[in-house]
Amino acid sequence: MKFETVITAEKSGRIDIRELLRYKDLIWLFVKRDFVVRYKQTILGPLWAIIQPLLTTIVFNLLFGNLARLTTADSAAAEGAFIPGFLFYLSGTICWSYFSQTVTGTANTFINNHRILGKVYFPRLVMPVSGSISNMISFGIRFAMFLCVWAYFVLVKGSGIHLSAYAALLPLLLLQLMLMSMGFGLIIASVTIKYRDMMHLMEFGMQLWHYGTPVAYGLSLIPARYMGLYMLNPVTMVIVTFRYAFFGSGYFNAGYYALSWAVTLAALALGLSLFKRVERTFMDTI
């Protein structure tokens, strides 16, 4: 008997982008499902996408701004520039929120969707891709809030902040944020299939990573001798460049930005490789 379609396990470890594109309708279906389920049976609905970073920003402004009085300058040249503390913390928080949510969601891909994955075939990469897009919708809501607050400080308060030429990098920053989130999430997802202890380690690790990223403080707080090591964190250059784009002053280093992209692409390549290797046998170990 001759079959029209034969489904076998891929052994080459190659990611078939064309196959993924053929399932674009399924990706959008999962995007809609993830977004609806996240706010289903909640009174405020999508407003929670605004409330959560807003409350975090208020706490950071009180603790790190008013009490600890940590610097909000990303460079020595920006020390004299006035940057509203609330806007400073909000900018870092919305970027970090997307990164942490996407990493966590991608890391739980196999565990949260094992019933679906065990019943029907589709490219398993559809799940993390749809999750990252769904989180980008939430980011869009938060970004709209950020723009409203930014416009208030510019037009009403006359704070002196302004757009810089680095605003042109915004699409590239968002793309990098999405790719690095998926990369690190896929690495964790591939490891946690066999070693569930990694889930608990991930929660702790994300907290440490948060404080190792200039969200609650300016980059100028980091001593120059540690800057090279600190910049191995790829989220750092995304956040400081994002702030530079909207504040008109800050820090940007082309070499460190290239390093950030190098780490991002390395994490994505490793994550895809591990994910492709694990997806063939994950139903036997989950």
Determine the structural domain holding residue 97 and report its residue range: 45-285
- Look at residue 30 and tell me if it is in a domain: no
Which residue ranges of the chain lie beneath pLDDT 70? 1-16, 41-44, 77-81, 114, 117-118, 196-197, 280-286
C-alpha distances out from residue 115 to 103, 119, 243, Å? 21, 7, 42
- Look at residue 21 and tell me if it is in a domain: no
* Predicted pLDDT at 39: 72
Q: What is the pLDDT of residues 175-206, one digit of tens each?
A: 999 999 999 999 988 888 777 667 778 888 89
- Look at residue 3 and tell me if it is in a domain: no
* Predicted pLDDT at 258: 96
Tell me the two tokens of residue 137. Answer: 């919708």
* Predicted pLDDT at 14: 61
Straight-line distance from the first to the last Cα atom of the chain, in angstroms, rounded to the nearest whole number:
34
- Look at residue 40 and tell me if it is in a domain: no
* Predicted pLDDT at 157: 81
Q: Which of 39, 41, 61 is nearest to 50 (CA)?
A: 39
* Predicted pLDDT at 8: 60
- Look at residue 22 and tell me if it is in a domain: no
Q: What is the pLDDT of residues 12-64, one digit of tens each?
A: 556 667 777 788 888 888 888 887 777 776 666 777 778 888 899 999 989 88
- Look at residue 82 and tell me if it is in a domain: yes
Helices marked H in the chain: 17-22, 24-39, 48-60, 85-107, 109-112, 114-117, 126-151, 170-192, 197-211, 227-230, 234-247, 254-278, 282-285
**pTM here?**
0.87
* Predicted pLDDT at 114: 67
**CA triple 52-168-102, angle to 5 deg:** 35
Decide: 34 and 102 in contact? Cβ < 8 Å: no
Count of structural domains within the chain = 1
Q: Is 132 helix (H, G, I), strand (E, B) or coil?
A: helix
- Look at residue 58 and tell me if it is in a domain: yes
Rg (C-alpha) for the chain, rounded Å, is: 21
- Look at residue 99 and tell me if it is in a domain: yes
* Predicted pLDDT at 200: 74
